Structures are given as C-alpha cells and as structure tokens.
C-alpha cells in the first residue's frame, strides 16, 4: 500500500515538518501496517539520484519526531516503521518470520521494574519473532 501524496503532506504537517520530496517519498514507502524497511531497502526504492546523507538525516529526523520507530533486529539490521499512534519506541515489537511484517506490540508488557537491585534501565530492544495472525490462519486452511 502506497500513501497518496496529499496524505504524506498532511501527515508531515501534523508533525511540524515541511513536505520535501524525500520526506514524502520515504513516508510513502513506509506507509502501511507492519511495513518495516532497512535504510538500504528504502534507498533502493528511491530515485537513484537521492543523496544518501539526506536519506540518513531524514530517517534520523523522523525517529526524533516520533514519526518512525527504529527497531533493532540484530547487530546489522535496523528497520524503520511508521510509529502510528505509538509515539515512544520503548515497547516490544513482533517480527513475523514468514511475511516479514514488523508490528508494534506495546501490549506485551515487559516489566522493567523487576531488575535486580543495583541495575538501571536505560533502553530496551525487544523483538518477538514468530508468525503473525495473517500467516497462521493461512497455514490452517
């Protein structure tokens, strides 16, 4: 699903950002529930003349503004996804190993106050892997 141009412009506006060409392009590729892409995957979808540094800055800005979540899958893979209604990214994410969707799962409550005494929490990167509802129902049929 690709967002309409007008949608991306008004979306950027609600976050106090001007709708530059690259911002609109990046947004439209990330649009859609569960869609998550690495910086490289986004780069491959953009016009070849796109400046890599501009893309990097755009993603950084989107992350700071809470527009996207940067989700660390492993040491090498970081994916970006539209944050939707979840502003913070300190919640768990669910990664479907079949369709590669990445979903926000704030309902998976990881109780960080159960740390042993003397330990302090600074950030959490919890990714739960498995099969999403869509893929699990497909299997049963």
- Interaction site with Zn ion (CB under 5 A): 69, 96, 98-99, 104, 132, 135
Closest separation in Å from C-beta 38 to Zn ion: 16
User: Which two three-digit tokens encode residue 45?
Assistant: 């979808």
> Which CB, 9 or 135, lies closer to Zn ion?
135
Closest separation in Å from C-beta 24 to Zn ion: 22
Closest separation in Å from C-beta 1 to Zn ion: 15
> Which CB, 8 or 94, lies closer to Zn ion?
94
The DSSP string of 42-97 is HHHHS-TT--HHHHHHHHHHHHHTTSEEEEE-SSS-EEEEE-TT-----SEEEEET
> Which CB, 20 or 137, lies closer to Zn ion?
137
86 exposure class (CB count in 10 Å sphere: 0-12, 13-18, 19+): middle
Closest separation in Å from C-beta 106 to Zn ion: 7
- Distance between CA 54 and CA 42 in Å, rounded? 12
> Which CB, 55 or 132, lies closer to Zn ion?
132
- Distance between CA 53 and CA 90 in Å, rounded? 26
């Amino acid at each position: 699903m690709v967002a309409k141009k007008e949608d991306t412009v008004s979306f950027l506006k609600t976050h106090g950002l001007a709708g530059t060409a690259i911002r609109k392009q990046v947004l439209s590729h990330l649009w859609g529930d569960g869609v998550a892409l690495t910086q490289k995957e986004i780069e491959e979808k953009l016009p070849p003349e796109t400046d890599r540094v501009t893309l990097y800055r755009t993603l950084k800005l989107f992350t700071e503004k809470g527009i996207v979540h940067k989700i660390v899958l492993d040491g090498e893979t970081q994916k970006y996804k539209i944050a939707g209604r979840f502003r913070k990214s300190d919640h768990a994410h669910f990664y479907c190993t079949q369709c590669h969707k990445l979903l926000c799962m704030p309902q998976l409550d990881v109780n960080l106050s159960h740390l042993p005494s003397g330990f302090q929490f600074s950030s959490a990167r919890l990714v739960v892997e498995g099969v999403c509802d869509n893929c699990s129902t497909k299997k049963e049929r």
